[in-house]
Every structure is written in structure tokens, then in C-alpha cells.
Amino acid sequence: MVSTATQIGDFHFDNCLMNAAGVYCMTREELAEVDASAAGSFVTKTGTLAARAGNPEPRYVDTDLGSINSMGLPNQGFQYYLEYVTELQNQPGSKHHILSLVGLSPDETHTILKTVQASDYEGLVELNLSCPNVPGKPQIAYDFEMTTEILTEVFTYYTKPLGVKLPPYFDIVHFDQAAEVFNQFPLVFVNCINSIGNGLVIDDESVVIKPKQGFGGLGGDYVKPTALANVHAFYQRLKPSIQIIGTGGVRTGRDAFEHILCGASMVQIGTALQQEGPAIFERVTAELQAIMAEKGYETLEDFRGKLNYID
Ligand code: RRO
């Protein structure tokens, strides 16, 4: 029997595949569709203190090799998502979920997390340190000092299971420095990667999305090698209590297999879910199971992190 079940912290999931934050997760209706699919969980759209309309459209475009977006953090406000995951948490037999959050300033982030700390929600929270698309707001996790400051403050009051969503890093020294920062904290997971920030896609003689003169985050096939490198770099560097969620370029069972081989405990699907809809979870799960069966692997532990090197 082949199983794709997994665990993040104390939470069990029957399947390691789920949506990536930002895709199919803006409303209760979309979240319910993912919940009803073969996905093992869902993560909400990143919620801010107040609801946001986001950037002007067009702000998401599919391309031959993936997608580009500059959504600008449109969301219903974090309370909307907090209420929904709390409601589901109290239903017997419910899957476990992930609540994605961030403030537009450190103060806002602390206000949000203090509210979650005081709430009935006991599940996983993902703090998004890597939104590339709010004009004038740099990606927090590229600033190691700011990241250290925020997490130091967070863990003075936050005692529930917390992970962070990271942008891609591109230099070995940055992998070392980032891991040194995250290893200082009782994080349950890091999620690698958010979109590759500030790419530019051109059609004929024009950009294809309206915000930021066409600059936006890349997802899909473009980003898989970068995602795998980040998953594996953090798998090599983080203390064993910090698990890795792998996100980026997952469209097939083979892609999910590679993320797990690099060290991922859970695998998220973004662009391909946007393109194919929640039925993708059944297809990718079946493809992953077929690869595992062919190789004689029964569980994810049989091959997680066991990437081969060339001596
Ligand atoms: O809403 C967005 O523009 C967005 C976010 Br918050 C994010 O974390 N990653 C992304 O590609 N887009």
C-alpha cells in the first residue's frame, strides 16, 4: 500500500498535496472546494489587518512556462479566514488547515498574531515574509535584520504553531545567513518558495500585467529548479524540528516527488492549480503514488531528503 500521508508539527494530513497561498483561497467558497478535493489541506490567502482590494487588473496572467502576478495582497481581512479555519477546526473529522497572515507593518503583524494567540484557533499559521507585490514594501525576508527583529518580538507572546513563507534565495551565503536566522526560533516549518519576485513578461511590445509597469512574481515551470534548490538548501541547514513545505513549479507527480526528495514534508501547488482547478489534486496524487509504487516506496519517509549527489 502506497501512502502520501504526512505530518507537520503535531498535525496529520492524509495527503501531502495542497494549494499554495494565493491560489483558490480568497473566499470560503474557494477554500471549501479545495477542502472537498483530494488535497490534504488548504492554506488561506494571506490575510491582512483590514480587507484589501489589491492592485488594478490585469494582475495575473498565464504564460507558456507558468504565470506572472502582481495581485497586491487582495484579501477579505484576516478575521474572515481566522473565523473559517476556527469553524472547521471544531467540526469532527475535519482536515487540518493553515492560516496565512501578514501585516503591512511590523506593528500590524503583531496586532494580527496577538489576536490569533488570544483566539480559539489552535492550528498552523504561516507568516508570509515574502510578498513581492505591494508597491513600496520590500520582501521582509530579504532583510535578515528586520526578519530577526520581527520573529524575536513574535515569540515573546506567540506560543501556537508558526511557520514562515520565504522568498527564493539565490546565493549560498544567503542560504547560510537565512538558516542561521530561522534556527534561532521555535518555528514549525518554513515554506520554500514564494514566487520569484519582479519578473517581466512581454507580449508583442507590451507588458502583460498592469501594476508596477508589468513587474510581477513568477510561478510555474520557470521556478521549479529555484524552488528545489531552496527546499534542499534549507533541508540541509535547518534544525530537524523545522520542517519544509515545498512550493514552486509543481504540476505533475514527478514534480512533487522531486520536492519530497529534496526534503519537503508537504507540497503545495500554485500556478498549475490556478490553470487546472482542484481536480489537479487527484491527478497529481495518482501520479506520485505510481512513481512511489514503481520504486517500491510505501511512505514519504522512504525517500524524503534522500537526494543523490554525484561523488
Ligand atoms: O497578493 C500578491 O500579490 C502575492 C502575494 Br501576498 C504573495 O505572497 N506572493 C505573490 O506571488 N503574490
Note the pLDDT of residue 134. Answer: 87
pLDDT digits (tens, 9 = 90+) for 51-67: 999 999 999 999 999 99
Q: How far is CA 121 from the centre of its chain?
A: 20
DSSP 166-177: E----SHHHHHH
Using CA atoms, how far apart are residues 174 and 167, in angstroms rounded to an integer?
11
User: If you average pLDDT over every residue of the chain, what do you get?
Assistant: 98
DSSP 157-218: H--S-EEEEE----SHHHHHHHHHHHTTS--SEEEE---EEEEE-EETTEESSSGGGGEEEE
Residue 225: φ, ψ to 5°:
-60, -35
Predicted pLDDT of residue 199: 98
How high is the pLDDT of residue 292?
Answer: 99
Q: Strand 98-101: give its sheet, edge to edge.
A: 17-19, 266-269, 243-247, 189-192, 162-166, 124-128, 98-101
pTM beyond 0.95, yes or no:
yes
Residue 133 Cα to ligand 1 midpoint, Å, equals 6
Question: What is the tens place of the pLDDT at every residue in 299-310?
Answer: 999 999 999 999
Which CATH architecture does the domain made up of 6-54+73-196+221-302 adopt?
Alpha-Beta Barrel (3.20)
pLDDT category of residue 138 using cuts at 50, 70 and 90: confident
Residues in a beta bridge with 246: 192, 267
> What confidence score (pLDDT) does residue 136 get?
87
Choose between 110 and 133: higher pLDDT. 110
**Spatial separation of the C-alpha atoms in residues 151 and 109, rounded to whole Å:** 10
DSSP letter for each residue of 81-140? HHHHHHHHHTSTTPPP-EEEE--SSHHHHHHHHHHHHHSS--SEEEEE-----STT---G
Q: Which three cell numbers stand for residue 257?
A: 516527488
Residue 200: φ, ψ to 5° = -140, 120
Sign of the dihedral defined by the CA atoms of residues 308, 292, 191, 121, in that order: negative
Q: Please give all residues whose beta carbon lies within 6 A of any atom in ligand 1, as ranges.
A: 22, 46, 69-73, 128, 130-133, 194-195, 217
Work out the percent of the chain whose per-residue pLDDT is above 70.
Answer: 100
Q: Find the catalytic residue in 16, 131, 192, 262.
A: 131
Sorting pLDDT into bands at 50, 70 and 90, what band is 71?
Answer: very high
Domain boundaries, the chain: 6-54+73-196+221-302
Q: Could you report the per-residue pLDDT of 21-46, keeping only the tens digit for each?
A: 999 999 999 999 999 999 999 999 99
Assign 132 a pLDDT band (cuts: 50, 70, 90): confident
pLDDT tens per residue, range 239-286: 999 999 999 999 999 999 999 999 999 999 999 999 999 999 999 999
With bands split at pLDDT 50, 70 and 90, how would you rate the model's confidence at 224?
very high
- pLDDT top residue among 80 and 136: 80
Task: Return the residue matching grid coordinates 504565470.
Answer: 67
DSSP secondary-structure letter at 46? P
- Residue among 46, 210, 212 whose CB has most ligand 1 atoms within 8 A, to mutate: 46
C-alpha 231/C-alpha 141 separation (Å) is 15
Bridging pattern class, strands 215-219 and 196-200? antiparallel
Q: Residue positions in the annotated binding site for FMN?
A: 45-46, 128, 165, 193, 220, 248-249, 270-271
